[in-house]
Structure 1
Amino acid sequence: MVFAIICLGGLTLLVLIFESHWTSENGHHHSRQSHKNASRGNGCWLTEDFEVVKDCAPCTDFELASKSEPACIASGFKEILHCSISGKVLRGCDRVTWIDERNFWTFEALMFLAGIFSYSVVYVRQKMLDQEMLQRIQKQLARGV
């Protein structure tokens, strides 16, 4: 049973790694997003072919405080695009992939450590209970019961 659980856990991790790799390559190079993502490039990604030059990243504290970049105002994240006609533009984006991935793996590591800790506590407690039971049996045998 433990072997099956370990195999399923390994298979799950393998699927997550492959999925992460495939979605990062085939992600959002020609996606069409709504007008809510303001930028200085007048929405050229809606009408022109574009390529993502720099993936979604958090805006700096200065950009957020000064509101100098319209792309940063709505979500706090920006990505740099190169439109075929308009050139380089900034576009707001919803999520930063690497932050989400880091948070996921941090959560997984914490849950793994919590599982190991829980297992350790149960193991130690079981050993203590087994020892108490052996002592009771030895006392009963010594009394001749």
Structure 2
Amino acid sequence: MIESCSKRRMLLAVTFLGGLTSLVLVVESHWTNGSKKTYPETLLRNNSVLSSCWLKEEYEIVEPCHLCNAFEINSLSVPACLLTHYKEVINCNTSGRVQRSCDRVAWIEERNFWIFEGLMLVLGSVSITAVFTRQKILDHRVLRRLQRQLASGV
């Protein structure tokens, strides 16, 4: 079935599917809400229990999730950095200001995704160019061989 499609139809199909994929990604990114995450009730690390006031109290995010610096990770001074190397500062109503471990930063993940997609687009374009160039070279060789055979009278 795919062999019977012309190059123009294949290009239109690939373009349509690429556009549909982009549309789905944009719509999904607007519909999903990644801020609602569940955290373990207590995080055990080196026999110390981290505060988990955000599970029991109302809280406000003071600093959004960001990467811990090398000193905080290597010195083990911030227990929230040990688990994921990312932390966010929250202010619980009664317990006060605490730090908790969080997943990766959303905008970094999105940036890495788009970098990957761009690289795949470039790689695909280079591959398509190589295939079409190789096909032209092979077609030219066959044409020259036919011309030589016709010229020699075979």
Q: TM-score, normalised by structure 2?
A: 0.78
Conserved in 2, the CA contact under 8 Å of 1:50 and 1:82?
A: yes
Conserved in 2, the CA contact under 8 Å of 1:54 and 1:79?
A: yes
Paired position in structure 1 for 2:34: 27
Q: Which amino acid aligns with 1:9?
A: G
- The one-character-per-residue Cα deviations of 1:93-137 (angstroms, maximum 9, x if unpaired) are 132222322222222222211111111111111111111111112
- The one-character-per-residue Cα deviations of 1:27-66 (angstroms, maximum 9, x if unpaired) are 225x44112288x982110101223333321101111122
User: 5+ unaligned residues in a row in structure 2: which ranges?
Assistant: 1-9
- Deviation for aligned residue 1:140: 2.0
Residues 22 and 84 of structure 1, relative CA distance in 2, 3 Å threshold:
farther
Q: 1:9 and 2:18 equivalent?
A: yes
% of aligned pairs identical?
Answer: 50
**Larger RCO (CA under 8 A, 6+ residues apart):** 1
- Deviation for aligned residue 1:138: 1.4
Conserved in 2, the CA contact under 8 Å of 1:52 and 1:81?
A: yes
Q: 1:141 and 2:150 equivalent?
A: yes
Paired position in structure 1 for 2:141: 132
Conserved in 1, the CA contact under 8 Å of 2:44 and 2:50?
A: no
Q: TM-score, normalised by structure 1?
A: 0.82
Give distance in 2, aligned partners of 1:37 and 1:113: 45
Give distance in 2, aligned partners of 1:134 and 1:99: 52
Residues 6 and 37 of structure 1, relative CA distance in 2, 3 Å threshold:
farther
RMSD: 2.5
* 2:57 aligned to which of 48, 64, 68: 48
Residues 15 and 65 of structure 1, relative CA distance in 2, 3 Å threshold:
same
Q: Which amino acid aligns with 1:21?
A: H
Paired residue total = 142
- Deviation for aligned residue 1:18: 2.7
Residues 104 and 65 of structure 1, relative CA distance in 2, 3 Å threshold:
same
Give the stretch that moved more between structures: 96-105 or 54-63.
96-105
